[in-house]
Chains A and B, each alone.
Chain A
Amino acid sequence: MIDLDDLDRKLLLALVQDATSSARALGTRFGLSQPATWRRIKRLTDAGVISGRRIDLDLEKLGFAVSVFLGVKLATKGRVSLEDFERAVSAIPEVQSVEHVLGMYDYRLRVVARDLSDFERVLRRRIMTLPGVGDVEANVLLSEERLPGPIGAKPG
């Protein structure tokens, strides 16, 4: 685990907003030289703090009007291995993310679909037929915001 100073936090926040910002542009913004900025970003990347980047697409413009979160409980733990379920569920193209959780569900899935009837198709043909699936709860996403988290707060 690495310690961050104020400049690291500012750089991280800037990269969370726009990962394509160049070291030169960021350096100018925060009063650092380009090599110094580059070294800081490299340090954050090497330490695994920046684990990658993702492109932001407008889902509705691409025809994906519905995002649904599914809570999935396995019916037959032990008999069907978790690996079998995880491999099968990860292979479904409409499933965007799979999280193993502890609580009233075993897995939390993010599923994208063109509309509600498309979602119903994915649910019936792909999800409900997975090995070991038991209870499934669906919640349709209405809004979503990602927050900067502790790096956005004043250091205490």
Chain B
Amino acid sequence: MLDSHNRHLLRHLQNTPEASVSELASRAGMTPATAARRLDKLTALGVLKGQHAIIDWKALGYSVEVSLRFTLDKTAPRAFDEFMAEARKVPEVVEIQTFLGRVDVRLSVIARDISHYQTIYRDRILTLPHIADIEALMHVASIKTSEALPI
């Protein structure tokens, strides 16, 4: 599916998603028409699913970001579903991930400051169903954020 031309295209697109098709084409060493055709094909195959804008929550006044790692009480039959359904209702939860490992679920929670975080934690997080254990990691800095694939 990925010949070296497609690999090149995707690599450049990963690095500069806002580039125009003709810019991408010249970087990947092909004509704009070829690049456009290849990108369309990758989209049709479902490999390229789209582009999303990234919000910097700090610029909106949310200076605190905490990674909350949960172990759930798995004796409750629908623990995962019920926990996640309730977590989705908390506006400050920006990410939900489930895992195979020591951690069952992780939530990314943002807050304006520490006292705001404390309020969210007490009123909205500790009240989520089926929690067996919680650990918190406070975000200090993003060192690498590209999320680029090694293609």
A residues in contact (CB < 8 Å) with B: 1-2, 4, 12, 15-20, 47-59, 61-62, 64, 69, 71, 86, 89-90, 93-105, 107-108, 110, 112, 137-147, 149-153
Output the nearest chain B residue to A112 by Cβ-Cβ distance. Answer: B149
5 residue pairs A–B, Cβ–Cβ below 8 Å: A49-B55, A54-B147, A61-B1, A62-B47, A150-B92
In the assembled complex, the Cα of A51 lies from the Cα of B140 at a distance in Å of: 18
Q: Is the CB of A151 within 8 A of B52?
A: no
Q: Is the CB of A16 within 8 A of B53?
A: yes
Count CB-based A-B contacts (< 8 Å): 197
Query: For the side of the interface on B, what is the size category?
Result: 35 or more
The 3 A-B residue pairs whose C-beta atoms are closest, nearest first, are A139-B101, A93-B150, A15-B53
**Residue among A18, A62, A96, A141 making CB contact with B51, cutoff 8 Å:** A18
**Residue among A4, A96, A153 making CB contact with B91, cutoff 8 Å:** A153
Contacts of A48 in B (CB 8 A): 56, 58-59
Map CB proximity to A onto B123-144 as digits: 1 under 8 Å, 0 otherwise. Answer: 0000000000001111111111
